[in-house]
């Protein structure tokens, strides 16, 4: 694989900082991500392929592969250099409809996501992936270390946020690698980590996403107060908590993902 600096120069471009373009230049990290993501029977979806550090080795697995890249120039370079069977979508991943991806060959059976995520939009992309209607079975995601800590936090931790609860309910999350800025070109100011997400057996109760978001809206407020935003009265909210075995003075940060799921089922 060419160094991204050579490719960027060849095409007369410069890395776009605003799009989080820090290209991976670490062969052992690349190998680990590709080995983790590639699983027979699962189609591969890459977000932000950039200059193809992960895309080329992912394509070599022979599995169905699609990649969504926002930068038009990079998407064009990839189209010109990858086999035709690899689908390069020039789009903002946050705006691509699940149905469009599900229609790609192999994508309705099971999907494995691989990404070195753009740092400025990591949380919305992860939320979109966690709640995706695609059959996402595995995700191998590289992100800033601070972002990774949110997926590993437990109750009472300041990093415990709605994304933590939803991701931990729907996936088993395992840290598999930490990287220093030297693994990228250009080098970012921060360290990074790679997390592996394996789909759990849990179903998502329909009310869980809005329940979790409302519960954390005012972190220092009690759940009873925060749940009023969902149209419940204070006594109705307290009654609901009681039915789920949760005390009336509880705050969102004290509840486990299991507590939230139980509460969401009761909300219907
Ligand atoms: N995968 C490449 C690598 O590892 O070298 C590039 C990773 S770079 C950290 C993030 C990539 O995401 C960039 O190519 C950037 O243009 C792209 N990107 C940024 N925002 C995006 C979005 N909303 N949707 C899709 N791609 C995006």
pLDDT digits (tens, 9 = 90+) for 105-115: 999 999 999 99
**Residue 184 CA, closest ligand 1 atom number:** 5
With cut-offs at 50, 70 and 90, classify the pLDDT of residue 1: low
Helices (H) and strands (E) in the chain, counts: 12, 9
Q: With the C-alpha atoms ordered 25, 30, 32, 37, is the resulting torsion angle positive or negative?
A: positive
With cut-offs at 50, 70 and 90, classify the pLDDT of residue 268: confident
**Residue 94 CA, closest ligand 1 atom number:** 23
Cα–Cα dist 245/262, whole Å: 9
Q: Which pLDDT score is estimated for 220?
A: 87
The string over 9-44, giving b where at least 16 C-beta atoms fall within 10 Å of a residue's C-beta and e elsewhere, is: eeeeeebeeebbbbbbbbeebbebbbebbbeeebbb
The separation between the first and the last C-alpha atoms of the chain, rounded to the nearest angstrom, is 51
Cα–Cα dist 115/55, whole Å: 9
Quick: pLDDT tens for 190-242.
999 999 999 999 999 999 999 999 999 998 899 999 999 999 999 999 999 99
Cα–Cα dist 172/157, whole Å: 18
Quick: pLDDT tens for 68-98.
999 999 999 999 999 999 999 999 999 999 9
- Kind of pairing between the strands at 184-185 and 23-24: antiparallel
Q: Identical fold at 4-199 and 208-267?
A: no
Omega of the bond prior to 69 within 30 degrees of 0, cis?
Answer: no
Domain boundaries, given as residue ranges, for the chain:
4-199, 208-267
Q: Whose CA is nearest to atom 10 of ligand 1?
A: 118
Cα–Cα dist 144/188, whole Å: 10
**Residue 92 CA, closest ligand 1 atom number:** 24
CB 43, CB 107: distance < 8 Å: yes
CB 259, CB 246: distance < 8 Å: yes
Question: What is the rounded average pLDDT of the residues 16-20?
Answer: 96
Is 52 close to ligand 1, i.e. is its CB under 6 Å away? no
- Which residues contact residue 102 at a Cβ distance below 8 angstroms, ignoring those fewer than 6 apart? 108, 133, 134
Quick: pLDDT tens for 143-189.
999 999 999 999 999 999 999 999 999 999 999 999 999 999 999 99
Q: What is the pTM of this model?
A: 0.97
Superfamily designation of domain 208-267 = rRNA adenine dimethylase, C-terminal domain (1.10.8.100)
Q: Which pLDDT score is estimated for 2?
A: 76
With cut-offs at 50, 70 and 90, classify the pLDDT of residue 254: very high
The gap from C-alpha 136 to its chain's centroid, in whole angstroms, comes to: 11
Q: Whose CA is nearest to atom 4 of ligand 1?
A: 24
The top-level CATH class assigned to 4-199 is alpha beta
Q: Which of 80, 23, 14 is nearest to 49 (CA)?
A: 23
- Which residues contact residue 201 at a Cβ distance below 8 angstroms, ignoring those fewer than 6 apart? none
Quick: pLDDT tens for 21-55.
999 999 999 999 999 999 999 999 999 999 999 99
Cα–Cα dist 144/120, whole Å: 10
Ligand 1 mutation pick, 70, 77, 91, 96, max ligand atoms within 8 A of CB: 70
């Amino acid at each position: 694989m060419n160094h991204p600096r050579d490719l960027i120069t060849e095409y007369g471009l410069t890395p776009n900082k605003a799009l989080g373009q820090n290209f991976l230049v670490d062969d052992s990290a690349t190998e680990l991500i590709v080995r983790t993501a590639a699983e027979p029977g699962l189609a591969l979806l890459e977000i932000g392929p950039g200059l193809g550090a992960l895309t080329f080795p992912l394509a070599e697995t022979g599995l169905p592969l699609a990649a969504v890249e926002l930068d038009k120039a990079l998407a064009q370079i990839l189209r010109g250099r990858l086999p035709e069977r690899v689908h390069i979508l020039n789009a903002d991943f946050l705006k691509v409809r699940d149905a469009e991806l599900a229609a790609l060959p192999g994508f309705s059976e099971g999907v494995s996501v691989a990404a070195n995520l753009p740092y400025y939009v990591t949380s919305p992309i992860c939320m979109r992936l966690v709640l995706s209607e695609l059959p996402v079975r595995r995700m191998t995601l590289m992100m800033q270390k601070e972002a990774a800590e949110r997926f590993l936090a437990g109750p009472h931790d300041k990093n415990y946020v709605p994304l933590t609860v939803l991701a931990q309910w729907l996936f088993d999350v395992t840290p598999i690698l930490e990287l220093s800025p030297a693994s990228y070109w250009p080098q970012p100011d921060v360290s990074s980590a790679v997390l592996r997400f394996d789909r759990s057996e849990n179903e998502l109760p329909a009310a869980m996403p809005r329940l979790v978001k409302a519960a954390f809206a005012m972190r220092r407020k009690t759940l009873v107060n925060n749940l009023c935003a969902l149209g419940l009265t204070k006594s109705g909210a307290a009654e609901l908590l009681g039915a789920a075995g949760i005390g009336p003075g509880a705050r969102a940060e004290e509840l486990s993902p299991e507590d939230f799921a139980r509460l969401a089922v009761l909300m219907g």
